[in-house]
A and B are shown apart, each in its own frame.
Chain A
């Protein structure tokens, strides 16, 4: 699929200016399972209620008559109309049809047929009469929260801060932002959920020190390490898995029930059975937070009833493998933060799934410390978002500042398909990087710049963000042009790239703004892969780099031998040719160190020859002749 179709590339001057206003600015936690809205009143963040409830179930029902029901009402309709009632929509944000396949095994939804290249999944709802995107479903939830806040605050909202998992990639973030816009909200900022939680703890509980925030929600897992000190909230590192959460527990439990009932793992493709079993699994899971055993009863649509029991020990056995998937992300976040587990002041729990005893025990074991849960783990994110909304809308308080980081590395494609990272993940924003590149081939008159996001060493394994060209460079020898590339990431996490050829002053720049709904299980897969293949990757990268280098040196040496044969002394040609043969054979192998070694021997063999050529060239230059293109390349140390 062409990258241009996926990404709108706008000019730097184009408006990204946000209207930020005083007054009614709220924070919204758009959760996988529940959503809620909070506001700062008289200096204190509070969650807004509707009737008695703070939590709005993130469930949307599309009735056949065209009406839309959101929240508790929709939950009640889920058992009867599983296909028309979308829950856990957050899992599908910024996802393509290909990605949904993975979670489709046990979801009751009907997916509208889509192209493999389609950037968004589409649900077929309202009895098949209507197709909606995850973005529209999310907008329905946001509309309800907007109305709740407006009723409470007595007027239109001026701006909102919506929280997202720290690990959401650009596509998922853009989808969230666009859902806000669709709901008629002015989105001032997307705030990472763990950061929001830390803000709430830091301001409310006056917490100081270095904390890990362990956020296990319905569908996402996030881990962040933050340092809270003197009103400065510094995110040290962040990581996670945007497709791991309490829903996975439900699915594991449901799988056990289906097995006990003698049904296949996909409930025989019957959405009502799937929904009934998933509902029962969730209820059983919640019951086992306090009880040690619970009775289970599932009545199938056909009328028969299955009765069973589930103990906490059995639950723990089902949940543990899912929980273990948190380990690598936690370790990576700690490593990136430079803080050891035993140096943490505490671990903050966020998300409904952290109520489960096994999750608390797991966190305790993982970090070697009792986790903190003083603030309701369901509310803490929304409270933090309200604080940030208030800070932004009031133009900041002199005593509080939030320093966030880039979640995924940003770089450029280099010769040979290798990624050159300009900005590494977990760099504090706003940030910038400048690097100078040169031409690879003689008479190259332009540069193709390919901006990528991800941790892997090879471009093919990273996510493409944008491509652009810088042309108009006069033909010259390889290595003579100087291309200065500047990356800038602003406080909103939006990347701008500018390129300038220093000799000619040719310039080009773009603002990288991904369009929503990108196909992306990529990020968590990329990250998991990068962890699994760090070794391979480094090897592959080094090998590619060394091969490119070897080709360059072989070409230059060949040209030098042909062009300056008169400068060779006796036996020198043979020695250089032997070196070239050795390098050719090393290049055919897969050991980068062997190639590097062969390059060094060839350099050694041709050093004197290169020196003589350099002198001859300098002499020639004095007489006003141009340097031959290979001169400066041969004999490079």
Chain B
């Protein structure tokens, strides 16, 4: 890459190796590269956050408020890409989905249910009948607990699903550690995760309606 500012070789970094001007992002760079991390599911959260914040300090548009238009634009685009990368990778579920997408497998946002008007050229994964039944039963139990304002029952359901979620995510982590990674298994588990997470979101809304005080992390979807 040639630096737009000094016309010399800019190198691979965010800033030109020769003059230090911020360079436009490479749209093809994967999020791990954007954050300077190894491409793996295993994740050093503290180290990654450190790296994200150090890069933010260097690239944030506030630092280029006085720069010329190209510098401001490059800083904006770099920052958008950096924030996107961090939002995606810091969450283990989104990180797993992203890793699959790099291998051409798209788990899709609402697997198995096409949403009208949304273009969907990826293969939607089948949703096992067993999972649908399980979630349906959980929902019914939740609705019953809510109509009885039974906070303890709601919390018990949340705890149950959270522990199932942990088990499933353990499978995902194991799947990535295998050689070669068990992509099909991971994809199937991620479909389950989506349903569990949606259940937890709904449970949290109902739980908050039934709970007057602020509370701690009780019904956090994790």
Nearest Cβ distance between residue A222 and chain B, in whole angstroms?
Answer: 17
Judge whether A436 and B118 touch: CB under 8 Å. Answer: yes
Q: Mark A522-558, 1 if CB is under 8 A from B, else 0.
A: 0000000000001100100000010011001000000
Instruction: Pick from B62, B206, B216 the residue with the most CB of A within 10 Å.
Output: B62
Q: Mark A326-358, 1 if CB is under 8 A from B, else 0.
A: 010011001100101111000000000000000
Nearest residue (CB) in A for B69 is A17
Does A431 have its Cβ within 8 Å of any Cβ on chain B?
yes
Nearest residue (CB) in A for B118 is A437
Nearest Cβ distance between residue B191 and chain A, in whole angstroms?
Answer: 13
Does A292 have its Cβ within 8 Å of any Cβ on chain B?
no
Does A482 have its Cβ within 8 Å of any Cβ on chain B?
yes
Whether A334 contacts B214 in the complex (CB less than 8 A), given A432-B80, A535-B206, A545-B116, comes out as: yes
- Say which residue of B62, B124, B216 sits within 8 Å of A491 (CB atoms): B62
Judge whether A415 and B62 touch: CB under 8 Å. Answer: no
Does A188 have its Cβ within 8 Å of any Cβ on chain B?
yes
Does A398 have its Cβ within 8 Å of any Cβ on chain B?
yes
Stretch at the interface among A85-93, A163-171, A226-234, A462-470: A226-234
Q: Mark B99-120, 1 if CB is under 8 A from A, else 0.
A: 0000000000000111111110
Does B202 have its Cβ within 8 Å of any Cβ on chain A?
yes
Determine the distance from Cα of A548 to Cα of B119 in the docked complex, in whole angstroms. 15
Instruction: Pick from B60, B87, B114, B119 the residue with the most CB of A within 10 Å.
Output: B119
Whether A430 contacts B65 in the complex (CB less than 8 A), given A342-B216, A483-B119, comes out as: no
Stretch at the interface among A60-68, A203-211, A388-396, A580-588: A388-396
Judge whether A545 and B63 touch: CB under 8 Å. Answer: no
Nearest Cβ distance between residue B71 and chain A, in whole angstroms?
Answer: 11
* B84: A residues at CB distance < 8 A: 431-432
Judge whether A230 and B53 touch: CB under 8 Å. Answer: yes
Nearest residue (CB) in B for A489 is B80
Judge whether A401 and B57 touch: CB under 8 Å. Answer: yes
* A416: B residues at CB distance < 8 A: 116
Does B1 have its Cβ within 8 Å of any Cβ on chain A?
no
Judge whether A232 and B112 touch: CB under 8 Å. Answer: no
Q: Mark B186-209, 1 if CB is under 8 A from A, else 0.
A: 000000000000000010111011
Nearest Cβ distance between residue B36 and chain A, in whole angstroms?
Answer: 17
Judge whether B214 and A231 touch: CB under 8 Å. Answer: no
* B118: A residues at CB distance < 8 A: 414, 420, 435-438
- Of residues 295 through 336 on chain A, the ones whose CB sits less than 8 Å from some CB of chain B are 327, 330-331, 334-335
Judge whether A392 and B119 touch: CB under 8 Å. Answer: no
Does B217 have its Cβ within 8 Å of any Cβ on chain A?
yes
- Say which residue of A393, A438, A596 sits within 8 Å of B119 (CB atoms): A438
* B115: A residues at CB distance < 8 A: 545, 549
Judge whether B53 and A232 touch: CB under 8 Å. Answer: yes
* B76: A residues at CB distance < 8 A: 430, 488, 490-491
* A229: B residues at CB distance < 8 A: 53
Q: Mark B52-69, 1 if CB is under 8 A from A, else 0.
A: 010011001111111101
Nearest Cβ distance between residue A230 and chain B, in whole angstroms?
Answer: 7
Q: What DSSP secondary structure best describes chain A's contact surface?
A: mixed
Q: Mark A400-414, 1 if CB is under 8 A from B, else 0.
A: 011100000000001
Instruction: Pick from B63, B66, B116, B126 the residue with the most CB of A within 10 Å.
Output: B116
Nearest residue (CB) in A for B73 is A490
* A596: B residues at CB distance < 8 A: 113
Determine the distance from Cα of A127 to Cα of B69 in the docked complex, in whole angstroms. 50
Judge whether A340 and B80 touch: CB under 8 Å. Answer: no
Instruction: Pick from A343, A430, A440, A637 the residue with the most CB of B within 10 Å.
Output: A430
- Say which residue of A18, A188, A395 sits within 8 Å of B63 (CB atoms): A395
Judge whether A534 and B214 touch: CB under 8 Å. Answer: no
Nearest residue (CB) in B for A424 is B87
- Of residues 112 through 166 on chain B, the ones whose CB sits less than 8 Å from some CB of chain A are 112-119, 121, 124, 126, 136
Does B5 have its Cβ within 8 Å of any Cβ on chain A?
no
Judge whether B116 and A440 touch: CB under 8 Å. Answer: yes
- Say which residue of A392, A401, A534, A637 sits within 8 Å of B65 (CB atoms): A392
Instruction: Pick from B79, B117, B217 the residue with the most CB of A within 10 Å.
Output: B117
Determine the distance from Cα of A234 to Cα of B86 in the docked complex, in whole angstroms. 13
* B114: A residues at CB distance < 8 A: 549, 636
Judge whether A552 and B214 touch: CB under 8 Å. Answer: no
- Say which residue of A18, A234, A488, A548 sits within 8 Å of B116 (CB atoms): A548
- Of residues 428 through 469 on chain A, the ones whose CB sits less than 8 Å from some CB of chain B are 428-432, 435-438, 440
Nearest Cβ distance between residue B29 and chain A, in whole angstroms?
Answer: 15
Determine the distance from Cα of A401 to Cα of B53 in the docked complex, in whole angstroms. 9
Whether A396 contacts B60 in the complex (CB less than 8 A), given A535-B205, A637-B112, comes out as: yes
Determine the distance from Cα of A398 to Cα of B53 in the docked complex, in whole angstroms. 12
Nearest residue (CB) in A for B109 is A435
* A395: B residues at CB distance < 8 A: 63-67
* A429: B residues at CB distance < 8 A: 83
* A552: B residues at CB distance < 8 A: 116
Judge whether A436 and B119 touch: CB under 8 Å. Answer: yes
Nearest residue (CB) in A for B209 is A535
Judge whether B61 and A437 touch: CB under 8 Å. Answer: no
* A331: B residues at CB distance < 8 A: 208, 214-215
Does B220 have its Cβ within 8 Å of any Cβ on chain A?
yes
Does A32 have its Cβ within 8 Å of any Cβ on chain B?
no
Nearest residue (CB) in A for B114 is A636
Nearest Cβ distance between residue B48 and chain A, in whole angstroms?
Answer: 14
Judge whether A430 and B124 touch: CB under 8 Å. Answer: no
* A231: B residues at CB distance < 8 A: 57
* A491: B residues at CB distance < 8 A: 60-62, 76, 79
Does A77 have its Cβ within 8 Å of any Cβ on chain B?
no
- Say which residue of A338, A367, A396 sits within 8 Å of B214 (CB atoms): A367
Determine the distance from Cα of A261 to Cα of B136 in the docked complex, in whole angstroms. 60
Nearest Cβ distance between residue B131 and chain A, in whole angstroms?
Answer: 14
* B112: A residues at CB distance < 8 A: 637
* B208: A residues at CB distance < 8 A: 331, 335
Give 17 pairs: A residue, B residue, CB < 8 Å, sorted on A: A18-B65, A20-B65, A232-B53, A232-B57, A331-B208, A341-B214, A342-B216, A396-B63, A399-B57, A401-B53, A401-B56, A415-B117, A431-B83, A438-B117, A488-B76, A490-B76, A545-B115
A sample of 4 more A-B contacts (CB under 8 A), given A234-B53, A331-B208, A438-B119, is: A20-B66, A232-B57, A438-B118, A548-B117
Shortest 4 CB-CB contacts between residues of A and residues of B: A396-B63, A340-B217, A438-B119, A491-B61
